[in-house]
Structure 1
Amino acid sequence: MAMVPDSLRSVIKRMVRGKPAPPPLPLPQRQLVLGLGAMKSGTTWLSDYLGGHPQFFHSPIKEMNAFASLYPDNPVYPSYIYKPGNSYRIWRMERIVLSFGVKPPRLDQTDAEQERFDRLRALAQLGRIAAVEDYLSFFAERIGSELHFGEISPSYAHLPPEAYTQMASLTQDVRFIFLMRDPTDRAASHLRHARRRVDKHVDLDDLLERVDASNPIFIRSDYRYTLNTLRDLGLAERCRFLIYEDLFNQDCMDSLCDWLGLPRYEAVFDKRLNPGVGDALSSEQLSRLRDRLAPIYDGLHSDPAVASATSWRW
């Protein structure tokens, strides 16, 4: 009787157990998709869409922020330094642990329990990503046969050039997605977010008066840096620049899937994820905010990346 090689025997065992065979390609030969932001511009919705695609593996954690931690400062923005959100990460871990109740989870019972535990483990691992090898290992231990994988972290929008260069070399095919929203609407949502999370006792008008070129709310709305840096690095062909106001229709998603080489996949457009909370800005406040962001509009007006953004406050 012929002997069965160990490698073939392991494949047969996995098939009998109902587990998939080993991935057909090593990670460096697959497509890595990195969403760069912008914050409050549909990144959560797009993460959910890609995460639901049967041929795309999305990180169990939407915002890994790994490269923002590896490259926390940028000389272009000396006052804008990324600070790892360890307290928020631990808070998310606590929520998962407490959701299990008083009894340990039965990980052999349901996929939902396993997914919940993996999110907990993933959050713990994020604090230990100290090099690009750790970042790739995070995906390597989880991915199945999917040929496309990635994550979206708005903190990546203002990384130094060397960060984008390194990110572009992680696999043989790295794609960047950058979403942009009307700068005033994005900043208004950011203001409400900041007031709810950090400046609870500060009047909205006072927060608005702080918005200048050195303020994070201004910087996050200034898409010029991201667009120009990616172009200067010769990465434009690897980038898809999307307009938030055009995002929520099937044609946009079909075009994105075509560009990524993914089969087209139906989107759910009535799903509200991470909606803005807090007092809305008045028309007068929005007008003042638009005035403070005027340099951004002036700099973007002739940029082809925003040619379809006809509804913006030009």
Structure 2
Amino acid sequence: MLPSFLCIGAQKSGTTWLYYQLREHPQIWMPPIKEIHYFDSVFIPENREWTEELIDRQCKQAISRADMLTSNCRGYEKGHIEQIMDGDKFSLQWYQSIYNTVGSENAIHRGDITPEYSALPYEGVEYVRSLLGDVRVIILIRDPVSRALSHTRMHVEHRRSTSLEELFDFVRGDVFKMMGDYKTFIPLWKSKFKENLLFVPFGRIETEPKAVIEQIEKFLCLESFCNYQLLKKKIHKTRKKQFDEEIVREIRIFCEDQYKFLYDNFPDSFLKNI
């Protein structure tokens, strides 16, 4: 058994919020950890320098949370989470085993929300298509500069201390650019999934969270669910931090092409909400 829908980012655009909402829908089964990283760990092998540790950390956090380990069909068994942590990570058998569990088999949809999938190369997206078939794909779009600044703040938080020189290296690096490169990854995913893509402007999560979820329910052909508990809760909000103007300028220069792409491909009614 494998996922029937993906959310591929963009990073720092509400993917964690979306995970917690969809986990509550009775017709959806979400894994006990938010980010699986199967496809990027296969096609961007350097990601394995940190994804294995991330999987283990997410699993330990899930086991420690009482609300994750419940006896109903939407809960998660401790043994299954331990299997994710101890299995042959990033093999196809491991990926399938995540979805072969109680609750998943009776769900209409199973999801995988991993923002790094937006950075997959052509052959990676092609493999997604061949493995998952006509899977539905959700893409959250945030204002390019706002997203990039939030990504940079997250980088600083994780590193604790980052010099100006290190920050320049980060915002000029391939990883930073790939995670917000709408101009590259949207046409790539469109070429393989066409009408099976749903684009959601990030700003509507704050202003119209219920409408966003209803749009996604419709996209996934699900019954409306009225008992979401966390719709207005901000999750993983990055701490505010001011950056040197030179860093901000570097980010703005990178984002120029991203704005042009968005304005050439999306209506004003969509863009005013990103």
Tell me the TM-score normalized by structure 2: 0.81
Report deviation, 1:177.
0.8
Does 2:182 correspond to 1:231?
Answer: no
2: CA distance, partners of 1:305 / 1:175: 22
* Aligned positions of 1:3-18 closer than 5 A: none
Report deviation, 1:207.
4.8
Distance change >3 Å, CA 306–CA 264, structure 1 → 2: farther
Q: Percent identity?
A: 22
Distance change >3 Å, CA 91–CA 255, structure 1 → 2: closer
Does 2:211 correspond to 1:251?
Answer: yes
Match of 2:200, as an amino acid?
L
Which runs of 5 or more structure 2 residues have no equivalent in the other structure?
A: none
In structure 1, the partner of 2:174 is: 215
2: CA distance, partners of 1:88 / 1:71: 17
State the structure with more CA Rg: 1
Distance change >3 Å, CA 257–CA 275, structure 1 → 2: same
Match of 1:147, as an amino acid?
I
1: CA distance, partners of 2:179 / 2:88: 24
2: CA distance, partners of 1:93 / 1:175: 26
Cα pair 2:41 2:51 within 8 Å, conserved = no
Match of 1:230, as an amino acid?
W
Cα pair 2:8 2:113 within 8 Å, conserved = yes
Q: Secondary structure at the match of 2:136?
A: strand
Tell me the TM-score normalized by structure 1: 0.72
Which runs of 5 or more structure 1 residues have no equivalent in the other structure?
A: 1-26, 74-80
2: CA distance, partners of 1:230 / 1:93: 29
Alignment partner for residue 44 of structure 2, among 65, 69, 72? 72
As a proportion of its length, which structure holds more helix? 2
Report deviation, 1:155.
0.9
Report deviation, 1:125.
5.0
Alignment coverage as a number of residue pairs: 264
Alignment partner for residue 25 of structure 2, among 22, 35, 53? 53
For 1:29-62, what per-residue CA distance to the aligned partner results, in whole angstroms no more than 9, with x for missing partners?
Answer: xx70111111111000011111110110111111
Q: Secondary structure at the match of 2:112?
A: strand
Distance change >3 Å, CA 240–CA 96, structure 1 → 2: closer
Q: Secondary structure at the match of 1:187?
A: helix
* Aligned positions of 1:250-269 closer than 5 A: 250-266=210-226, 267=228, 268-269=230-231
2: CA distance, partners of 1:216 / 1:192: 15
For 1:224-278, what per-residue CA distance to the aligned partner results, in whole angstroms no more than 9, with x for missing partners?
Answer: 2211102223x11111111111234222221221111011224443212111135
Cα pair 2:36 2:55 within 8 Å, conserved = no
Cα pair 2:5 2:136 within 8 Å, conserved = yes
Distance change >3 Å, CA 232–CA 306, structure 1 → 2: farther
Does 2:88 correspond to 1:89?
Answer: no
1: CA distance, partners of 2:231 / 2:116: 25
Q: Secondary structure at the match of 1:111?
A: coil
Distance change >3 Å, CA 305–CA 169, structure 1 → 2: farther
Distance change >3 Å, CA 306–CA 194, structure 1 → 2: farther
1: CA distance, partners of 2:7 / 2:267: 16
